Amino acid sequence: MRFRADRAGLDQDMRMEAWDDTAAVVYDRELLAEIVTLRFVEAHQNLTLVGPAGVGKTHLAHALGHIATRRGISTLVVRGDRMLKALRHARLDNSYDAELRRLLAPDLLIIDDFALDVMDTTESRDAFEVLTERHRAGSIVITSNRDPAEWHALFADPLRAQSAIDRFASASYDLTIEGESYRARQKPQIARKSAAYAQRAAK
């Protein structure tokens, strides 16, 4: 089981059991309950996890990946910028088809931090290929700080953007998470001693 998760690129600490349900974040709990059944994967549908940095989008995406691997569902996690970089490099050494097949092969592809930056023509074409080739052939989970409606402006080619995003969004559940960053709560703190203790220690 651990081997499958490692091979998929999943973070071992990001499981549903470790999800902090007491955090100050707001989301549709009924929708999340449906998503964790992974019926959307069985139906070759998608999921978009949208929200500001630090609210747990990546954690949830990896947690879904762990559930999937435990059920024998082939899974792969990639970061958006690294995926596009790998495809660009693959064009140079004639391994593009193999790299694209790697992204199209799993039942569940998780793309973390998609649409952070403006894409050039090559990156736009590659994003188009991944999103359109997987349409109705496999599921994609995308985490993003931007709503899908904002992705269009990041593609170099408006026509490719419209085609790819329309296919993806038409088959996607959208879970928006809003609230405080988890990372602020994880910031290191020193243990504060009482004033009386400090006075005694200073003598």
Residue 140's contacts (CB-CB under 8 Å, 6 or more residues apart) are 46, 47, 108, 109, 110, 111, 131, 134, 168, 172
pLDDT at 198 over 60: no
CA distance to 27, 46, 107, 108, 202, per residue, from 136 (Å): 26, 9, 11, 12, 69
pLDDT tier at 24, thresholds 50, 70, 90? confident
pLDDT at 202 over 90: no
* pLDDT tens-place string over residues 36-72: 999 999 999 999 999 999 999 999 999 999 999 999 9
Lowest model confidence (mean pLDDT) among 61-70, 145-154, 178-187, 190-199: 190-199
Task: Read off the tokens for 193.
Answer: 């001693």
Q: State the chain's mean pLDDT as an integer.
A: 91
CA distance 99 to 119: 19
Q: State the residue for tokens 């039942």.
A: 107
What does the pLDDT average to over 182-203? 58
pTM (2 d.p.): 0.88
What is the structure's pLDDT at 3?
74
Residue bearing the bigger pLDDT, 175 or 8? 175
CA distance 203 to 19: 45
* pLDDT tens-place string over residues 84-140: 999 999 999 999 999 999 999 999 999 999 999 999 999 999 999 999 999 999 999
What is the share, in percent, of the chain residues with pLDDT greater than 90? 79
Task: Read off the tokens for 90.
Answer: 């693959």
What is the structure's pLDDT at 189?
62
What is the structure's pLDDT at 195?
53
Walk me through the domains of the chain, giving residue ranges and CATH numbers. 2-202 (3.40.50.300)
